[in-house]
Structure 1
Amino acid sequence: MQPKLSFDIADLKLLATHSSFERGSDYYDRGSVKKVIGKKNIFEGKVKGTSTYDVRLVVDGHALDFTCNCTYQMGGICKHCVAMGLAILDGEYEIVAEEADINHALNKESPPSYPYTFEEIFFITKTELKAQFLHQLLLQNDQLQNEFIQFISRRAKEKRE
């Protein structure tokens, strides 16, 4: 299951300088966060800047411990950490489960006999496969297409605010 996050955008703003937060927001908006993997309270990801940087976040209660392999030393967290933090807050990460559990869950023949819930299956399924499924559903239903467009428009507006 997806972990419950104990931080929000205000926490990121407190940890970063104004400049780092703005630049990290720009990185996130441009799609510079390439891959984020979460396991329990640890998130690891790649953020593309002048190079590709490895970013790690350990969430310990309400404490956030970010690390990045960039050379930033101006105080607060760097723009790469901000970008990854924003991606995590938007749910743009994949949960890692044990390989045997994933294979078992995905190869079961009869859905009612799954020992896993919808939430567990959903979060161990690759993003590309979920996008394929969503696309197929949307193509079959004009009402869902309109709801999808409205949802995406609202999210884009929220990010601009």
Structure 2
Amino acid sequence: MRLELESLLELADEGVHTRGEALFLRGAVLEAARSRGRLQARVQGSAPFPYRVEINLSQGGWACTCPYAWGPVCKHVVAVALAALEAPEIFTRKKLGRRAPVNLQAILELSDDELLRFLWQLAEVRPELMHEFAYNLMQRFE
């Protein structure tokens, strides 16, 4: 199913569309990339970390790391869609990683102690990623 950006924007209610447009207009769409019908970007909102947005035009799907669950499209997705329509020059062309599921089998076989050691090591090597993950995780449970 092919997705058109205009159709995606029509899914957003008026308030979400207005807030997404405000994000786009203030330059909150960051690190935008495009490849073969896929758009990826980070969108800086009021949270300390930008949300990660992906729109797959070829497969007709979209995703955002924000906790929004009150409608089909969040303001961050709206901001990226508007950026693609109104300012396509901000999207760099690059090969985007495949969105294939990660094989978790080896990680699921770790004991609790091994898994905790793994997470602590990851936190030491990529603290910014762990901070972003922890913040987004806490938002989902508030």
Residue 61 (structure 2) pairs with residue 65 (structure 1)? yes
Identical residues among aligned pairs (%): 26
Paired residues in the alignment total 91
User: 1:46 maps to what in 2?
Assistant: 42
TM-score by length of 2: 0.58
What's 1:87 paired with?
83
Contact in 2 for aligned 1:12/1:21 (Cα 8 Å): no
Largest Rg, 1 or 2: 1
Question: Structure 1 residue 13: deviation in Å?
Answer: 3.0
1:1-161 map, 5 Å: 7-9=4-6, 11-51=7-47, 52-60=50-58, 64-90=60-86, 91=88, 92-97=90-95
* 3-state SS of paired residue (1:38): strand
Amino acid at match of 2:63: T
Structure 2: how far apart are the matches of 1:73 and 1:97? 30
2:106 is matched with none
Q: Which amino acid aligns with 1:32?
A: A
Counterparts of 2:64 and 2:81, CA distance in 1: 12
Unaligned residue ranges in structure 1 (runs of 5+): 99-161
Q: Secondary structure at the match of 1:77?
A: coil
Could you tell me which runs of 5 or more consecutive residues in structure 2 were left unpaired when the two chains were aligned: 97-142
Find the aligned partners of 1:21 and 1:56 in 2 and give their Cα distance: 17
Q: Does the 8 Å contact 1:17/1:76 carry over to 2?
A: no
Task: Return closer, same or farther for 1:28/1:75 CA change in 2, 3 Å cut-off.
Answer: same
